[in-house]
């Protein structure tokens, strides 16, 4: 891989991390007005930091750009949708907890498996979030931390190993169940925003998985070229 390609890939990964921080926060915490202001009113979603040829990414970007047109009611309807999908008093319509999908994926107890992965990396601070280890928001946070570590490395052997580990984490703990979860989002979300977020998470995990193998399909977004 040339020096130029390394820089391009690193720039892409920074863009994907930015998106995943946003998406993860939107499924971990009930949205507030500051979140809506940061990501909709200030135009961040109008100029996403990554462009991708992945059809799912294109669809998600379109949905997100069309969402929250009326800022005066956006926060309240997002809160209602968050509760329905993820944290309602009854059964959430699209729970973001991976172990609930084990019968569909056949990969065992997601919580135990992913906890072992965190422990192997000495990641002890997830308990401060008071959210299960196999909650998608925690899994995405861990993925962004792995990518941050990768971006700080300069030894080729270490880079190769971390690329392998990022792909292994996505393959074992994200790609196997996110498609089922995203289907529930598309069926049950009342807001275009959450439909877009579900598809964006699906697309980003796919893109990062292939990017870690130098696969085609993604190009740098214009605001990250400067």
pLDDT of residue 158: 92
Say how far apart CA 27 and CA 200 lie, in whole Å: 12
**What integer is the mean pLDDT of 186-201?**
95
- Domain with residue 146: its CATH number is 1.10.3480.10
Selection from 202, 181, 193 nearest residue 135 by Cα: 181
Query: Higher confidence at residue 135 or residue 50?
Result: 135
Lowest mean pLDDT among 34-38, 195-199, 215-219: 215-219
The overall average pLDDT reported for the chain is: 83
Q: Residue 167 to residues 137, 150, 160, 187, 216: CA-CA distances in angstroms?
A: 18, 12, 11, 29, 15
Q: How many domains does the chain have?
A: 1
pLDDT-based confidence at residue 221 (cuts at 50, 70, 90): very low
pLDDT (tens digit per residue) in 65-95: 888 877 778 888 999 999 999 986 678 999 9
The answer to whether the beta carbons of residues 209 and 44 sit under 8 Å apart is: no
**What integer is the mean pLDDT of 199-218?**
83
pLDDT of residue 44: 64
Q: Residue 54 to residues 5, 10, 51, 155: CA-CA distances in angstroms?
A: 19, 18, 9, 30
Quote the domain boundaries for residue 179.
3-224
Residue % of the chain over a pLDDT of 70: 81
Selection from 136, 95, 137, 132 nearest residue 115 by Cα: 132
**What integer is the mean pLDDT of 177-188?**
96
In which residue are the tokens 């977004």 written?
Answer: 221
Say how far apart CA 13 and CA 35 lie, in whole Å: 22
pLDDT-based confidence at residue 161 (cuts at 50, 70, 90): very high
pLDDT of residue 79: 92
pLDDT (tens digit per residue) in 41-58: 666 666 677 888 899 999
Written as six digits, the tokens of 118 are: 């965190």
Residue 219's beta-bridge partner residues?
51
Q: Is the pLDDT of residue 39 over 70?
A: yes
**What integer is the mean pLDDT of 206-222?**
69
pLDDT of residue 10: 86
Given the DSSP bridges, would you call strands 50-52 and 218-220 parallel, antiparallel or unpaired?
A: antiparallel
Residue 97's beta-bridge partner residues?
135
């Amino acid at each position: 891989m040339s020096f130029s390609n390394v820089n391009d890939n690193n720039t892409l990964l920074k863009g994907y991390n930015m998106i995943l921080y946003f998406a993860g926060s939107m499924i971990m915490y009930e949205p507030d007005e500051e979140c809506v202001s940061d990501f909709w009113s200030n135009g961040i979603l109008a100029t996403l930091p990554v462009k991708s040829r992945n059809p799912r990414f294109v669809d998600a970007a379109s949905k997100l750009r069309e969402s929250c047109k009326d800022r005066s009611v956006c926060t309240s309807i997002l809160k209602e949708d968050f509760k329905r999908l993820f944290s309602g008093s009854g059964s959430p319509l699209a729970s973001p907890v991976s172990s609930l999908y084990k019968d569909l994926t056949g990969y065992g107890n997601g919580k135990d498996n992913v906890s072992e992965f965190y422990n192997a990396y000495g990641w002890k601070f997830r308990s401060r979030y008071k959210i299960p280890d196999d909650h998608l928001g925690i899994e995405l946070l861990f993925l962004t931390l792995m990518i941050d570590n990768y971006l700080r490395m300069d030894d080729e052997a270490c880079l190769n190993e971390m690329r392998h580990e990022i792909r292994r984490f996505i393959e074992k703990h994200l790609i196997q169940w996110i498609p089922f979860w995203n289907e529930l989002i598309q069926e049950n979300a009342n807001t275009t925003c959450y439909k877009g977020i579900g598809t964006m998470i699906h697309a980003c995990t796919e893109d990062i998985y292939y990017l870690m193998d130098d696969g085609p399909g993604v190009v740098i977004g214009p605001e990250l070229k400067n």
